């Protein structure tokens, strides 16, 4: 990652275009489900963010690229005006992809003018630019997860990039690492060096009961054993809402898994569809694309449980822990709630995180799709319990049992 702010900005913006490059113009326009967005929309929305949050308020005499884009590419910022309905983003055949590229170029030129005078940038402006870059990195990950879901809906199961390499994970027997009861500090202070989102603040103390945590992620071979043991049919393993999802949607394996003799691509073995196309299931790879409900049912079947987000953060500093980052996001048993003393950021970005703090579960770590240097031990990702299209897996935890 480049060191200077200008170079870092340019690197991040170019990386978004690089990620979209394997997709055709047709690929980049389609929305495969309401929770996903077209790649073209991601490219435009991240430019909209810089234009409306950074440039319009902080670059004198800035001229917007197209007045209509304020409505088309706003995501959920009520303070910045009305917006096109999220489930209808795939209907935006116009503006054309070439116009979105021109929009990005216009915004980038203006940002270069702003960044060329660092002595004129206030701490507030610098903080918004840093937020904008991290926001774009979030959308880079979403661009990949959304593209995979889109391509999985194509009966040809085309690869995003046939040469894409999924990183290997730690192998070997599970080691259960023990953590004694104690008072620990979690989160980040608002004035701590380095970037963080507002939902990671403030730092605070909590009592954590003694627990054990697996040193590695659950792999596909272990999850396949759960399937073959009738895990999806055993109602005792599931939360009521999870069982309803299984029955309503016919879940019988993780998203993107194909059972033997699946009519989409008949074979005598399990397969999985990924960014590199259809491949034989790697039993040693971390299981991914699980909902919270599936992760919890597997933990029940394993006579274990999911860790809380605070257990995860505490364990992340242990030298023996493997693959805490850059493989799969890890579901936790913690609801997405504000930390004690949480105060949302000021201005339009007040809406960035705080208003979503209900009805969602926290995931920790990062996935192989998370951009470099965008993950950290205090990062709090969050999704509804039924979400499966993210690269989300799990590691197990247990209560610490003392003998007296």
| DSSP assignment of 319-359 | TT---SSSB-EEEEEEE--PPTT--PPSGGGGGSSGGG-SS
Instruction: Indicate whether 229 and 330 sit together in one domain.
Output: yes
Query: DSSP string spanning 313-330?
Result: HHHTT-TT---SSSB-EE
Check whether residue 50 and residue 181 sit in a common domain: no
pLDDT of 348: 80
Q: Are residues 146 and 180 in the same domain?
A: no
Q: How confident is the model at residue 193 (pLDDT cuts 50, 70, 90)?
A: confident
Give the whole-angstrom CA distance, residue 261 versus residue 329. 30
Radius of gyration of the chain (CA): 22
Q: What percent of the chain has pLDDT over 70?
A: 99
Domain extent at residue 50: 5-152
Identify whether residues 77 and 139 lie together within a single domain.
yes
Residue 403 confidence class, pLDDT cut points 50, 70, 90: very low
Residue 14 domain flag: yes
Domain boundary among 152, 186, 216: 152
Question: Is there a single domain that holds both residue 147 and residue 180?
Answer: no
Per-residue tokens: 16:
């978004």
228 plus 375 within the same structural domain: yes
Instruction: Give a yes or no: residue 311 inside a domain.
Output: yes
- Establish if 160 belongs to a structural domain: no
Q: Does residue 165 sit within a domain? A: no
Q: Inter-axis angle of helices 97-115 and 123-152, to 10 degrees? A: 160
DSSP 8-60: HHHHHHHHHHHHHTTS-TTGGG---STT---HHHHHHHHHHHIIIIIIHHHST
Average pLDDT over residues 347-370: 93
Backbone angles phi, psi at 39, to 5 degrees: -60, -40
Residue 215 has pLDDT above 90, yes or no: yes
In this prediction, residues 226-251 reach a mean pLDDT of 98
Residue 1's pLDDT band (boundaries 50, 70, 90)?
A: low
For residue 122, count CB atoms less than 10 angstroms from its CB and return exposed for 0-12, middle for 13-18, buried for 19 or more.
Answer: exposed
pLDDT tier, 91 (very low <50, low <70, confident <90, very high otherwise): very high
Residue 120 pLDDT: 83
pLDDT tops 80 at residue 217: yes
Q: What is the DSSP string of 191-227?
A: TSSS---GGG-S-EEEEE--EEEESS--BHHHHHHHH
pTM: predicted TM-score of the whole model, two decimal places:
0.96
For residue range 379-390, list pLDDT tens digits in order: 999 999 999 999
Residue range 284-337, pLDDT digits in tens: 999 999 999 999 999 999 999 999 999 999 999 999 999 999 999 999 999 999
| Count of domains forming the chain | 2
Task: Judge whether 171 lies within some domain.
Answer: no
Q: Is residue 158 part of a domain?
A: no
The verdict on 264 and 213 lying in the same domain is yes
Task: Give the length of the chain.
Answer: 404
Residues 6+ apart with CB under 8 A from 30: 38, 90, 150
194 and 111 in one domain? no
**Is the domain of 183 the same as that of 132?**
no
Per the structure block, which two tokens stand in for 265? 């691509």
Same domain, 145 and 91: yes
pLDDT at 402 over 60: no
Give the whole-angstrom CA distance, residue 295 versus residue 331: 7
pLDDT of residue 404: 39
Report the C-alpha gap between 227 and 213 in whole angstroms. Answer: 23
Q: Is there a single domain that holds both residue 262 and residue 378?
A: yes
Which spans in 39-122 are helix H? Answer: 39-49, 56-58, 69-72, 97-115
Which residue, of 120, 152, 184, is where some domain finishes?
A: 152
Q: For residue 191, give the CATH number of its domain.
A: 3.90.1580.10
Cβ proximity of 260 and 267 under 8 Å: yes
* pLDDT-wise least confident of 13-27, 63-77, 234-248, 346-360: 346-360
Angle between helix axes 39-49 and 5-20 (nearest 10 degrees) is 160
Q: Is residue 166 part of a domain?
A: no
- Beta-carbon contacts of 110 under 8 Å, excluding residues fewer than 6 positions away, are 51, 55, 59, 62
Q: What's the rounded mean pLDDT across residues 63-72?
A: 98
**One domain, residues 141 and 180:** no
The larger pLDDT score, comparing residue 169 to residue 146, is at 146
Assigned domain for 163 exists: no
Q: Dihedrals φ, ψ of 337, to 5°?
A: -135, 160
């Amino acid at each position: 990652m480049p060191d200077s702010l200008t170079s870092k900005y340019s690197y991040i913006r170019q990386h978004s275009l690089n990620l979209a490059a394997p997709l055709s113009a047709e690929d980049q326009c389609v929305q495969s489900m309401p929770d996903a967005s077209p790649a073209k929309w991601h490219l435009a929305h991240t430019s909209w963010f810089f234009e409306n949050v950074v440039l319009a308020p902080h670059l004198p005499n800035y001229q917007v690229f197209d007045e209509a884009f304020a409505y088309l590419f706003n995501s959920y910022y009520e303070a910045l005006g009305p917006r096109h309905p999220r489930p209808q983003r795939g209907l935006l055949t116009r503006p054309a992809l070439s116009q979105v590229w021109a929009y990005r170029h216009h915004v980038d030129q203006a940002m270069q003018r702003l960044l060329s005078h660092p002595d004129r940038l206030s701490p507030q402006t610098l903080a918004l630019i840093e937020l904008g870059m991290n926001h774009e990195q979030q959308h880079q990950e979403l661009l990949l997860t959304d593209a995979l879901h889109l391509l999985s809906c194509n009966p040809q199961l085309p690869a995003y990039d046939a040469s894409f390499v999924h990183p290997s994970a730690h192998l070997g027997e599970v080691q259960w690492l023990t953590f004694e009861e104690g008072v620990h500090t979690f989160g980040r202070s608002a004035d701590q060096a380095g970037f963080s989102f507002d939902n990671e603040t403030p730092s605070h103390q909590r009592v954590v009961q003694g627990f054990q945590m697996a040193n590695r992620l659950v792999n596909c071979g272990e999850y396949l054993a759960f399937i073959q043991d009738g895990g999806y049919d055993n109602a005792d393993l599931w939360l009521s809402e999870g069982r309803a999802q299984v029955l309503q949607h016919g879940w019988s394996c993780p998203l993107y898994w194909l059972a033997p003799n699946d009519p989409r691509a008949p074979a005598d073995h399990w397969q999985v569809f990924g960014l590199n196309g259809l491949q034989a299931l790697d039993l040693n790879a971390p299981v991914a694309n699980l909902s919270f409900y599936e992760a919890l049912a597997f933990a029940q079947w394993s006579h274990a449980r999911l860790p809380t987000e605070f257990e995860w953060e505490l364990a992340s500093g242990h030298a023996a822990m493997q693959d805490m980052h850059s493989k799969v996001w890890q579901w936790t048993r913690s609801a997405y709630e504000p930390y004690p003393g949480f105060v949302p950021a000021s201005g339009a970005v007040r809406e960035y995180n705080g208003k979503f703090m209900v009805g969602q579960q926290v995931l920790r770590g990062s996935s192989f799709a998370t951009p470099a240097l965008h993950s950290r031990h205090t990062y709090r990702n969050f999704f509804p319990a039924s979400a499966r299209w993210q690269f989300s897996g799990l590691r197990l935890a247990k209560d610490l049992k003392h003998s007296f």
